[in-house]
Amino acid sequence: MELAYYSDYAVRLVNSEEPARGKDSLTSVEAVRDLFGGNQQAARRATDADLTRFRSVRARLRSVFEAADKGEEALAVDLLNSLLLDFPVSPQISGHDFRDDDGRPLWHMHLADHPSNATAGYAAIAAMGLAFHLTEYGVDRLGLCEAPPCRNAYLDTSTNRSRRYCSDRCATRANVAAYRARKRLEAERPESTGRSAETAQRTSSSGER
């Protein structure tokens, strides 16, 4: 499993809540298990007690993205380091499920967690994945969607560091809103200009008298 994959754990958990919209999909054990994706062995460890713990980790992960989004680089790193200390993992070389044409293992790095509960396992993977992404690409590659009221988290993997939205849907919505705003401004400008010209003409006429 590629290390870059693990960073998606952080994004999935953060985006299970949309504070500005008052939405929270993390309301059941099934929702917690869904966050694990294909890692069903780990998902089966989830219990009702993990709901509160997952929400706590989610708040801490969102704080990392918020700090990065504000350009507070040192704070983002400190917050992430705190998560890494609280939820450690053991990097291991693994060859499971991946074989070359000759049937030999394709060795790769794997994050082995030894959790006391489902939250600890998920948090460890999410924090380490986010740490790899941050150190590889930079703090400014952690962002929050600029399309209000979304504010979902995303990881910028664009070549020119240009990503500003969490999805194509939000990008389209923002572009449409910007287009409509420009059109309103253009429509108001001739009317305003006309009034200014009329006022100036009246002032000039009064002065001639």
What confidence tens digit (pLDDT) does each residue in 8-33 have? 999 999 999 999 889 999 999 999 99
Average pLDDT for residues 33-44, to the nearest whole number? 88
Average pLDDT for residues 106-119, to the nearest whole number? 75
Please tell me the predicted confidence (pLDDT) of residue 161.
85
What is the torsion angle, in degrees rounded to the nearest 10, for the CA atoms of residue 52, residue 167, residue 137 and residue 6?
Answer: 40
Among the residue ranges 58-62, 108-112, 144-148, 163-167, the one predicted with the least confidence is 108-112
Map the chain to HEC letters. Answer: CCHHHHHHHHHHHHCCEEHHHCEECCCCHHHHHHHCCCCHHHHCCCCCHHHHHHHHHHHHHHHHHHHHHCCCHHHHHHHHHHHHHHCCCEEEEECCCCECCCCCECCEEEEECCCCCHHHHHHHHHHHHHHHHHHHHCHHHEEECCCCCCCCEEECCCCCCCCCCCCHHHHHHHHHHHHHHHHHHHHHHHHHHHHHHHHHHHHHHHHHC
Is residue 52 predicted with pLDDT exceeding 50?
yes
**Residue 155 to residue 142: CA distance in whole angstroms:** 5
The per-residue pLDDT for range 122-167, each reduced to its tens digit, is: 999 999 999 999 999 999 999 999 998 999 999 998 888 889 999 9
Q: Model-level pTM?
A: 0.78
The per-residue pLDDT for range 171-180, each reduced to its tens digit, is: 998 888 777 7
**Residue 6 to residue 3: CA distance in whole angstroms:** 6
Phi, psi values for residue 91, rounded to 5°: -65, 135
Confidence of residue 201 (pLDDT cuts 50, 70, 90): low
Those residues with Cβ within 8 angstroms of residue 130's Cβ, 6 or more apart along the chain or in another chain: 6, 7, 10, 61, 64, 80, 142
